Copies of this chain bind each other. A is one copy, B any other.
Amino acid sequence: MTNFSDPTVVARAALSRLFEPSDTVGLALTLASGPIDALRIATGRISAGTTLTLEIAGLLEAQGISTRPQALGDALERWRPRVADLAPERDLATLERLGGILLTPECDEWPKAIDDLQLSAPSCLWVRGNYSRGIPELNRMVAVVGSRDSTAYGAGMTGDLAAGLVTRGYTVVSGGAYGIDAQAHRSALAAAQDERAMPTIGVTACGIDRYYPAGNEQLLRETARRGMLIAEVPPGSSPTRWRFLQRNRLIAGLCAVTVVVEARWRSGALNTAHHAAGLGRSVGAVPGSVYSANSAGCHRLLREGSAVCVTDAAEIAELAGPMGSVTLPEPDEAPAVHDGLTVEDLLLLDALPVRASTTIDKLASVAGLSIRDVLAGLSRLELSTLAQRTDDGGWRRDTPHPYSRRPHNNSTNSSSNSSNNSEKG
- Given contacts A347-B20, A425-B269, whether A311 and B288 have CB atoms under 8 Å apart is no
Q: Are B290 and A295 in contact (CB under 8 A)?
A: no
> Could you say how many copies of this chain the assembly holds?
2
Give the contact stretch, choosing among A3-11, A117-125, A220-228, A370-378.
Answer: A370-378
Q: Are B205 and A156 in contact (CB under 8 A)?
A: no
- Given contacts A290-B312, A312-B290, A423-B239, whether A370 and B20 have CB atoms under 8 Å apart is no
Min CB distance A158 to B, Å, is 11
Please, which residue of chain B has its CB at the minimum distance from the CB of A295? B287
A291 to B303, CA, bound (A): 21
- Given contacts A333-B264, A368-B78, A371-B81, whether A350 and B242 have CB atoms under 8 Å apart is yes
A417 to B327, CA, bound (A): 49
- Residues of the B chain whose Cβ atoms lie less than 8 Å from the Cβ of A269: 425
Please, which residue of chain B has its CB at the minimum distance from the CB of A153? B289
Q: Are B287 and A240 in contact (CB under 8 A)?
A: no
A372 to B73, CA, bound (A): 12
A422 to B312, CA, bound (A): 31
Please, which residue of chain B has its CB at the minimum distance from the CB of A311? B290
- Residues of the B chain whose Cβ atoms lie less than 8 Å from the Cβ of A422: 241
Q: What are 27 A-B contacts with C-beta separation under 8 Å?
A: A20-B368, A74-B370, A78-B369, A79-B368, A81-B364, A81-B369, A82-B364, A148-B423, A156-B291, A177-B423, A177-B425, A178-B425, A205-B423, A238-B421, A240-B350, A242-B346, A242-B350, A264-B333, A266-B333, A266-B424, A267-B424, A269-B425, A287-B299, A288-B288, A290-B312, A302-B302, A303-B311
Since A265-B331, A266-B333 are in contact, a sample of 5 more A-B pairs with Cβ atoms closer than 8 Å, ordered by chain A residue number, is A82-B368, A148-B425, A240-B421, A241-B422, A242-B343
